[in-house]
């Protein structure tokens, strides 16, 4: 049984906000891998993208995830964490992975700053193409999928906690 919980999903899915609520409600610590990257690199995600490219940001994200050695934490990952098999295998070994599934229409409604948000995508890739590409990866790694459309973050956190306690997934 894993003592950590990892949230995966698209930018705008609510990983950070739901993660903070979950951590508070369940008495766990909280880690946001995007914030870890920014602290350790002393740059925003967008600065990293501007200075290099999306593949470099993905590599940095994988490197930060592989360094995680925690227990009793909720881990909110960046949206591109699922591109690294090594990072996801590590997260599977230390946590239960929960996919916050949000429809394309809802993500599009939530994200207003697509061009400047620090999203790791190819230069010519549309948001829809990125969404479709990532859904496959999120579903591949998810041990639990929570449909988030129509629910606020408190409700989503409650659903996750209930599902985890119901199946004995969190120690």
Share of the chain above pLDDT 90, in %: 77
Mean pLDDT of 15-27: 96
Distance between CA atoms of residues 119 and 131, nearest Å: 11
Say whether domain 4-166 belongs to CATH 3.40.50.300: yes
Domain ranges of the chain: 4-166
Question: Does the pLDDT value for residue 36 go beyond 70?
Answer: yes
The predicted pLDDT at position 171 comes to 47
Q: pTM of the entire structure?
A: 0.93
1 has pLDDT over 60 = no
Q: How confident is the model at residue 123 (pLDDT cuts 50, 70, 90)?
A: confident
Mean pLDDT, range 140-164, rounded to an integer? 95
> Any idea what the Cα angle at residue 150 is, between residues 28 and 77, rounded to 5°?
40
Cα–Cα distance measured from residue 158 to residue 62, given in angstroms and rounded to the nearest whole number: 29
pLDDT band at 114 (very low <50, low <70, confident <90, very high): low
């Amino acid at each position: 049984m894993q003592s950590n919980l990892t949230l995966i999903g698209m930018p705008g899915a609510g990983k950070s906000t739901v993660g903070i609520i979950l951590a508070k409600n369940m008495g766990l610590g909280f880690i946001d891998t995007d914030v870890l990257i920014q602290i350790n690199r002393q740059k925003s995600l967008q600065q990293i993208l501007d200075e290099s490219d999306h593949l470099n940001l993905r590599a940095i994200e994988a490197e930060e995830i592989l360094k995680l050695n925690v227990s009793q934490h909720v881990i909110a990952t960046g949206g591109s964490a699922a591109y690294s098999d090594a990072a996801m295998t590590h997260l599977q070994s230390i946590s239960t992975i929960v996919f916050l599934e949000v429809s394309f229409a809802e993500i599009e409604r939530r994200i207003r700053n697509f061009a400047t948000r620090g999203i790791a995508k190819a230069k010519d890739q549309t948001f829809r193409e990125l969404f479709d590409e990532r859904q496959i990866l999120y579903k591949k790694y998810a041990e639990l999928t929570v449909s988030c459309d129509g629910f606020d973050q408190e409700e989503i956190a409650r659903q996750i906690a209930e599902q985890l306690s119901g199946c004995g997934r969190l120690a």
